[in-house]
Structure 1
């Protein structure tokens, strides 16, 4: 645990070593505000809720979360600190988890800064705050899943742009697998079990339930399983690089 915290602190502090983190936070907050109050037609609907806020998040995260994760390992390899990091007397699992948790903490901080939007909705009306809270939990779980994918793919290359593109591509597949056009594509030739499995891989399906206030063990377990799998992939990739190099 101590080793993980050491890596976590090092990585989290590195986000604020350059203006990039602050630029990211500003872009994230501006986009969330635009999606909620303008594209989501908050005032036109005359309903106090954060439906639009959560509806656009999967697509916003598709680009912003890989942007957070792309530097986790690619920057280490490019700068030459990758080999030094692996020589530290710290278990590989602690390094992987520590770096990943730093990215999750940064994403959680960005999400926390959207609290004024929640406060504004309460000031304008009487929303169901239980549903909104559940939506926030689901949002953090989904962001964490994006980051786990991005972290694993960042370890495969020295180029942050390549890491970003790979992460966006894989996350996009997870995102759209439950859309009707994709399901229809499989239902035309694949058995029903395979079609259902493809649909259940979608982030949208599991996040949609949580943002509606429906807390299901299956949805929470899905995100935890995705995170655990990609962190395992992350560790395997890093260990393979160490053995090869």
Structure 2
């Protein structure tokens, strides 16, 4: 169990590695912020559509026909989008939030909050899967943890840059990225302690499909519009392309 927890923790901490990027450049301007919003959207959309949903369909196909598995997975994804739309209303709107530090628009802070929340939600079931796999098969757990770590590095960047831009604090950017990664081992330990007898591959993969819907909604509703409104220099489009490319490579490396 200790080995499985260590593997899950190391995979989660890789998010903090991505967050360290903010230590190497000045506080981003509008163009960089636009790029980072597009990058975050590209990362989240790619991991949802190229990794999370296909994985759910593949798992469901083991117990049900392909068409039924696809319908169940997409229905859960749609439920995640609806849930994200409802949760979005719990976050103050731009008009209700004060202008950020040094005149930074409130929308930047809101987008940073939403992005961080979505990635934390994504990391929770990911941590559970890593822990349980490592506990059952240490060699397979190492492979899964390596794949998760590759995913988490660009996710850390996607968190730290918007937070740094919105708050002017490098430390906050790094800390938010690290804390989101720590959600993996924390969620895994909690699930293992309280829900070990109830968790199943079908349940966990259904949860993954739900969170894929959350991430897709956040990307389309928050990140892409905010990115394109932040700059007129095509930064969001460039970030979107780079995010898709980087995450696609990360998914297929392991």
Higher relative contact order (CA 8 A, sep 6+): 2
Please identify the structure whose Cα radius of gyration is greater.
1
User: Could you state the TM-score of these two structures normalised by the residue count of structure 1?
Assistant: 0.31
Structure with bigger helix share is 2
